[in-house]
Every structure is written in structure tokens, then in C-alpha cells.
Amino acid sequence: MLDQIEAKIRNGERIDEEEALYLLRHPDLNRIGRLANDVRESMWGRRCTYNINRHIHPTNVCVFRCTFCSFYRRPGQDGGYLVSPEEAVERAKALSDLGITELHMVGGCHPTAKTDYYCSLYRAIKEELPHIHIKSLTAVEVAWLARVSKQSFEEVLVRLKEAGLDSLPGGGAEIFAQRVRDLTCGGKCDAEEWLEVHRVAHRIGIPTNSTMLYGHIETDEEIVDHLSQLRKLQDETGGFMTFIPLAYHPENNVMEIEEGPSGQRSLQVFAVSRLFLDNIPHLKAYWVMLGLEIAQMALWYGADDLDGTVVDEHIYHDAGAITPDVLTVSDLRKLIAEAERDPIERDTLYRPIVRDEATGQILEIGKETIAS
């Protein structure tokens, strides 16, 4: 069957769920990885993109209790915070001389911070730093804002877009299967709502990313189902820029799983994702969760992007990620070059960026988006 699947892929045909499941379970990781790499190289050649970004978590207070989450504080609990627009601007400005092009802003579902709060956050940032791309709010947070602000998904997203929101990250998808959601993150938005938030975002011109949290209690079938639901929505809207498989981290949470996925499992998930998601242009190896070594290897198993400098990330570091909490641009470029790939800085929309080597000033942002 592997020969038949390989022939199909090499002919440019789409593989189905049953075939994806077969690949996910097949012991010949190297052959599947080589196939995924051939597909990746036919799309992007040797290049591997990265961006210069920082994370700001607007709040760590959350009404939900996801069992895999090490980040949240309950409303009223010590250590909870809600960042003011002024603070967010100060943090972003403090790092603007590092050349950041993107702010990645996600956090908890706060009981009283409504759409207006996020609008004032984005407006304040755009006023001071109009060139910064704001990638913010998972679909879970958008669905929560709709609930707490008594607005539709579209009303929330239109208002946020007007205030300066440029794109949505892909978090909160976890695993779509309701069995897993009931056991790990019951109460927060379900698969249908997650997909609907992204559908609406794509319709009104907000590009988004997609994710999958793997390596905990999910089955192989549930992984394939998750990929399949993403592929269907992408066929409909074309609004996903990238897919990011997120490796589960076991520390500081209440989930009774002591280990995250092995390197072998991660590489297999990457390879199958590249082969199955033939309509999502990019596959990101998020080094914070994968670890630097597996992230490098993933660049030969389908991935073409390494995310960014990621200053001040807490969600996964609180969960035990032992990766550094920031990589410099030269760290990132070295990692990529060591993996025999060509590093290219990009913006959030995957457009290549050319800088003056001496000053770091942006000379040019490619007119042609790398995202197909």
C-alpha cells in the first residue's frame, strides 16, 4: 500500500483519511519523511522562513480549566493579571529596536475583558507602532468574547479588525474530537465553533493559522480527523496560511500523562501533515514546543518555517518547555543553516523581508507573498 500511496503523491493526487492513517502508523519513518521532504522542496525549495516577533499575553486569567494548561489563573487567584493598553505599548516599544515585525498576543478568557478592551489594546499599539502586525486571539478567545460581549463572531471580528487586528494565530484547536475535548478542555469552544470563527475571519479578510495539540490522549484516528476537518475548511475558504503541530508538554498541569511525544512521533506527525494538508501552504516547526533539535530535523520532514524570536513566551514555558525563552536572529539563522536550509526572514503574511545588514532597517518587503 505504501508504494500506491507514494505513487499517488508523486502524481500530485490527494491522499484520503485511510491512507493518512496508514502513513501515521507505518514503521518506515525515513521513507515517509523523504516523501514529505520532496513535497516540501517542490513547494519551497531549500528555504526556511522565520520572523522577528515577541509575545505579549494580555491576561493569564481564564474562566476555563483545560487539564493540559499550566498558564492560567482562576479569576481572583493570586498572580492573575490583565495588561493595560499603556503597558502593552511599553513592552512592544521596548523591543521595537530589535526589528520586530509582529506581536503575537494570546492569553486566557477573562471574565470581564470584552471586545472593547481588546480594541483599545490594538488601537494603542497601532497608534505608536503602526508598522507592527498584530496577530492576536485564538478562536477560543474570540468565541469567548462573542459570549461575554453578547455579539456574533462576525461583529467581534469586524470590530477587532477595525481597531488593528491583522491576523489570528491558530491556537485552541487542540484535538477536534469531542471525546478528547470533554476530557481535556470541556466548556471551551468546540470544533464547530473553532472552525466557524476561522471561516468568518477568512470571509472578512483576516488570514489565520491552524494548530493541533498532539502527544497526549488522542488516538491516531483523531489526529487524522483533525487534519481532515482543517483540509475541508481550507478547500472552502483558502484562508489558512500555515499549520502548526504542537507537541504536548506534561509539566505543571493536572493531566496524568508524564511524557510528551517522542521525537519519532513528532517527525511522523509532521511528515503526514505535509502529505495530507496539500492545500495549506506552510508547515511550521514551533521550536518552543518541539525543542531545537527536533525542530531542526522537522525541516527535513515537511516543515518550511521555524516561527520566530518569540520574546517572552509563557504558555509553553510554564508547561515545562526547556527551550530558551528567546532566540536571537543569529541563533535562528544558525539553527536553520546547520540544518542545511536557507534562512529567509518573513513577515506574518510570509512575505520575504530584506534588511540593511549594517543597520537592520527593512529595505524591502517582497511584493509577492510566499503564501500561495
| Contact residues: ligand SF4, CB under 6 A | 62, 64-66, 69, 71-72, 108-109, 140, 185, 188
Closest CA to 214 of 264, 278, 140, 254: 264
Q: From the CB of 191, what's the least distance to ligand SF4, in Å?
A: 15
Strand segments, DSSP code E, in 1-100 are 47-51, 53-56
Report the C-alpha gap between 212 and 79 in whole angstroms.
28
> In Å, what is the CA distance from 303 to each residue of 86, 127, 294?
37, 35, 11
Q: Please answer whether residues 41 and 342 qualify as being in contact, where contact means their C-beta atoms are separated by less than 8 angstroms.
A: no
Q: From the CB of 108, what's the least distance to ligand SF4, in Å?
A: 4
Q: For residues 81 and 99, which CB has a smaller minimum distance to ligand SF4 in the complex?
A: 81
Report the C-alpha gap between 30 and 43 in whole angstroms.
20
Report the C-alpha gap between 157 and 132 in whole angstroms.
19
Q: From the CB of 53, what's the least distance to ligand SF4, in Å?
A: 20
Q: For residues 101 and 253, which CB has a smaller minimum distance to ligand SF4 in the complex?
A: 253
Q: State the distance between the two ends of the chain, measured CA to CA, in whole angstroms.
A: 31
Report the C-alpha gap between 200 and 209 in whole angstroms.
13
Going by their DSSP bridges, the two strands 53-56 and 102-105 should be labelled as: parallel
Q: For residues 213 and 349, which CB has a smaller minimum distance to ligand SF4 in the complex?
A: 213
Which amino acid makes up residue 94?
Answer: A
Q: From the CB of 66, what's the least distance to ligand SF4, in Å?
A: 3
Q: For residues 76 and 130, which CB has a smaller minimum distance to ligand SF4 in the complex?
A: 76
> In Å, what is the CA distance from 286 to each residue of 29, 62, 158, 274, 308?
20, 24, 29, 15, 8
Q: From the CB of 255, what's the least distance to ligand SF4, in Å?
A: 11
Question: Dmax of the chain from CA atoms?
Answer: 59
Q: For residues 66 and 137, which CB has a smaller minimum distance to ligand SF4 in the complex?
A: 66
Q: From the CB of 12, what's the least distance to ligand SF4, in Å?
A: 38
The CA dihedral of 67, 69, 70, 75, to the nearest 10 degrees, is: -90
Q: For residues 65 and 147, which CB has a smaller minimum distance to ligand SF4 in the complex?
A: 65
Report the C-alpha gap between 295 and 305 in whole angstroms.
9
Per DSSP, 352 falls in state B
Q: For residues 118 and 300, which CB has a smaller minimum distance to ligand SF4 in the complex?
A: 118
Q: From the CB of 89, what's the least distance to ligand SF4, in Å?
A: 23
Q: For residues 39 and 142, which CB has a smaller minimum distance to ligand SF4 in the complex?
A: 142
Q: From the CB of 99, what's the least distance to ligand SF4, in Å?
A: 29
